Amino acid sequence: MTEGLGFFASVPEDSMERTFTTTGRAVPYLELKVVDKDGKMVPMGSPGELWVRGYIVMLGYWGDEAKTRETITADGWLKTG
């Protein structure tokens, strides 16, 4: 994903199982949530779409306001799809 940089990371203290079976830990300067089709948060472990927000997330698509509005909410959440 090029709309943001470094959403997740592994650290040396992580177990081998965690390193090989997950995408890592969310970085501390990023907010994450999983939402349903209406943008409402779902319970832990439920399927949904990952939304991210933080200073490492792009502000928008250059010269494409329509795509920006489709992809980023008014309060800054990037819909990862």
Residue 42's contacts (CB-CB under 8 Å, 6 or more residues apart) are 34, 35, 36, 48
Beta strands (DSSP E) in 1-81 are: 8-9, 25-26, 30-35, 49-54, 78-79
Mean pLDDT of 11-25: 74
Domain map (residue ranges) of the chain = 8-79
The one-character DSSP state at 81 is -
Model confidence pLDDT, tens digit, residues 39-80: 999 999 999 999 999 988 899 999 999 999 999 999 999 999
Amino acid at site 23: T
Q: Which CATH number fits domain 8-79: 1.10.357.10, 3.40.190.10, 2.30.38.10, 2.60.120.10?
A: 2.30.38.10
pTM: 0.76
